[in-house]
Chains A and B, each alone.
Chain A
Amino acid sequence: MTVRQAEFMMAIATILISLGLMWSSTDGLAIGWVSEKGPGSGFWPFWLSLGMLMCAILTLVRWALRLTPESRSTESYMSRDAVIIVGTSVGALVALLIGIHLIGIYLALVGFLIFYLKIVGRHQWPITIMLSGGGPVFIFALFEWGLKIPLPKAVTEEWFYPIYDVMYGSDHFWVFILAAFALLATISIAVHRLLPAGEE
């Protein structure tokens, strides 16, 4: 696909999005003046979406007249290499999110990191294991312990009951900060040691 074709498709997509937003703004909402109450709820989004539509149509017109650099370009929109690396990353991220729903965030993170480091990055096993093991532990320490934000664990919820007991027993900010950074430091030192010269 050339950049010119991509520009056309994006213009069409933005026109459709604008129309969709305009339609949603009128869905049971007043887009004009409501007496005593001022502008209706749909007023602001409707007229802005109309503006979006105008801009999108203008982009399409400029495309047809070949006014923008993108509409003249016959270069490839995404090279083969780009499709491979970006596609793999997006695929891995989608798999990670599906994984979070099914097997919980921690197992999904381990899987994601192993895949990315070992298969995409072709790194050595020690660094892969170090990061894919240490990463989720760090995330746990930071979010669940430090920020008290429970992350979705799906079926693995029960595994964490013993950890919760310890966690809510002691609760000190500086202990947490020190623990988190000790872990981070260990991981980063280890990563530097383990990265062979050839990978730099």
Chain B
Amino acid sequence: MESILISLSGGLLQALEPLNLFMIILGCTVGLFVGAMPGLGSVNGVAILLPITFLVPPTAAIIFLAAVYYGAMYGGAISSITLGIPGASTAVATVFDGRPLAMSGKADQALTAAAIASFIGGTISVILFTLFAPPLAEFALKFGPPEEFALMVLAFATFIGLGGDDIPKTMFSILIGLVLATVGLDIISGKPRLIFFDVPGFLHGINFLVLAIGIYGIGEMLWTLETTGGKVIVHKVKLTWSGFMTNVRSVRVYIKSTTLGSILGYFVGTLPAAGATPASLMSYGLAKTFSKDPDSFGKGNIAGVAAPEAANNAASTGSMLPMITLGIPGSPTTAILLGGMIIWGLRPGPLLFSENPDFVWGLIGSLYVANLFTVLINLAFIPVFVRVLTLPFTVLAPIIFVLCIVGGFAPTQTMHDVWLMLLFGIVGYLMRKLNYPVAPAVLAIVLGPLAERSLRQSLLSSQGDVLIFVERPISAMCIAIAVALMLYPLFLAWRKRRRSGSTNGGPEGSDA
């Protein structure tokens, strides 16, 4: 405990260094903007901005990106409340009560509640993070290749069991991500693999950013252009100081559901497939269940804004726990951060705590500082963000496209990758329209090389005996949970079929 406090104070001091502090403030501001813009969420912001962070040292870069992630969670609420459309999928639940509040002229109350709840969620989760991360990392030091591989199988199994998307399509998405990661030179034998049509550009492999920017930059913009047609309508917000103080005092009305939502959000956030969106929806449901007046939810209950906002912030911190301690990202956004760490020459996983303590504790310290700054910037600049939302989408879209094109070129500096990125963007958009989930593919392309290496090392050490994965207790447990998760949808389908009898027996469970 004492060692944690010492490391933490070191991390806080590091976060307050001029460059890092500047990065936090910049990141929070950019994140708020990214989160507030419909069509852009934390994952889009982080994917598009990652190439630009090569400007600064790795610690400052991850601090910036973590602040963007954080800010985006706050920012999502701004458009949910003022526009009635979620700024990011993570803020969907905020619309349910945020919109009715704005319609009845209480937009300022909803915005303040969202910001304060986000702050509470962020604070609770970052404290939980500080307490859980070091012991978990120490435990994970015992992991060998079989445990690593089993853990990755478990991470992918969460998509199948909890993702809620069509299962064959989810599995296809995972597998294609893993296969695309093998393109290029084989790390073990050095042989070139999957060099399609002998195009030399494939020899250096497919950088995960090419897929991530393609899908979350280009693909997302095409998707948003289609759904919004480029037009949005904004709700007026008036903010006064006295009104603000009244709103702050009303925090006791929703403090209980906010705390509950924060803890729930944190733990849901650590699961790779779950993350901030389901966490906020679950938190909303929980707040409604435990409320004395559940009927007022959906008609403008302030707790209905606070609970999901606390949960999505807590989940974003939660998703960093497996990334930092195990090297397994807890969300698509952290998958991109993880890929970034590999580019910066860091090896994600339990060794990070002992090998790069400055990096880890600098990041943790920055989460505390970022949380504070985001709530301040958010409250101070709500009118500015609302103004920004009035930008027509046809101004924003070309700017994002340009950033994607240049950002796709930057990591490898070949036009080959830019063309590939455009292709991934278009294909990703077309597949998303048919409900193929895209997040598993991005997670898979980041984890692919690590998964393959740990599998081959394991099999080599066991002389080809696959039982190695079930003979070791930790990996056996991971595999067992993974198998249970994969069978869970089948169980749901079976139960549903039994309940509905023979009248309507389609295996709909997999689509639930």
Question: Which of B390, B455, B506 is the one whose CB lies under 8 Å from A200?
Answer: B390
Q: A residues 98-156 with Cβ under 8 Å of B?
A: 100-101, 105, 109, 112-113, 116-117, 120-123, 127, 131, 135, 139, 142-143, 146-147, 149-152
Q: Which residues of B contact A41 (CB under 8 A)?
A: 186, 188-189, 191, 193
B contact residues, range: 35 or more
* Cβ contact of A59, chosen from B169, B188, B226, cutoff 8 A: B169
B-side contacts of A122, CB under 8 Å = 394
B410 is an interface residue with CB less than 8 A from chain A:
yes
Contact of B222 among A20, A33, A42, A86 (CB under 8 A): A86
Q: Which of A59-73 contact B (CB under 8 A)?
A: 59, 62, 67-70
B435 interface hit (Cβ, 8 Å): yes
- Binding stretch for chain A, among B101-109, B305-313, B401-409: B401-409
Chain A residues with CB under 8 A of B426 = 90
A199 touches B392 (CB 8 A): yes
Is B464 a contact partner of A67 (Cβ separation < 8 A)?
Answer: no
Q: Does A120 lie within 8 Å of B172, measured CB to CB?
A: no
- Is the C-beta of B144 less than 8 angstroms from some C-beta in chain A? no
A142 to B172 alpha-carbon distance, docked (Å): 38
State whether A86 touches B52 (Cβ < 8 A). Answer: no
Please encode chain A, from 63 to 101, with 1 for each CB lying within 8 Å of some chain B CB and 0 for all others: 000011110000001100110011001100110110011
Q: Which of B429-475 contact A (CB under 8 A)?
A: 429-431, 433-436, 452, 455-456, 459-460, 464
Establish whether residues B511 and A86, one from each chain, have CB atoms under 8 Å apart when the complex forms: no
Residues in A whose Cβ lies below 8 Å from that of B179: 21, 45, 48-49, 52
Known: A3-B434, A191-B395. A89 touches B221 (CB 8 A): yes
CB pair A85–B405 under 8 Å, yes or no, is no
Name the interface size band of chain A: 35 or more
Q: Which residues of B contact A121 (CB under 8 A)?
A: 230, 392, 394-395, 398
**Cβ contacts B54-91/A at 8 Å (1 or 0 each):** 11000000000000000000000000000000000000
Distance (Å) between the CB of B221 and the closest chain A CB?
7
Does residue B136 face the partner (Cβ distance < 8 Å to A)? no
Would B422 and A192 count as touching, CB distance under 8 A?
A: no
Q: Which of B55, B175, B452, B459 contacts A55 (CB 8 A)?
A: B175
Q: A52, B511: Cβ atoms under 8 Å?
A: no
A85 in contact with B229 (CB, 8 Å): yes
Cross-interface CB contact of A131 among B395, B406, B418, cutoff 8 Å: B395
A77 to B226, CA, bound (A): 12
Interface status of B387 (Cβ within 8 A of chain A): yes
A86 to B429, Cβ gap below 8 A? yes
Min CB–CB distance B65 → chain A (angstroms): 16
Chain A residue contacts of B172, Cβ below 8 A: 14, 52, 55-56, 59
Residue with the greatest number of chain B CB neighbours at <10 A, chosen from A48, A116, A173 = A48
- CB of B13 closer than 8 Å to a CB of A: no
Q: Which residues does chain A contribute within 8 Å of B291, judged by CB atoms?
A: none
Contact across chains for B222 and A90 when beta carbons are under 8 A apart: yes
Could you tell me the distance in whole angstroms from the C-beta of A77 to the nearest C-beta in chain B? 7
A-B contact pairs, 25 of them (CB 8 A): A10-B436, A25-B193, A39-B460, A41-B188, A41-B189, A44-B452, A52-B179, A55-B168, A55-B169, A58-B168, A67-B506, A69-B511, A85-B229, A86-B225, A93-B405, A93-B422, A100-B405, A101-B415, A112-B402, A113-B402, A121-B230, A121-B394, A139-B406, A147-B51, A149-B413
Known pairs A38-B188, A55-B169, A123-B394; list 8 more (Cβ under 8 Å).
A49-B175, A51-B175, A55-B175, A101-B415, A105-B406, A122-B394, A127-B395, A135-B399
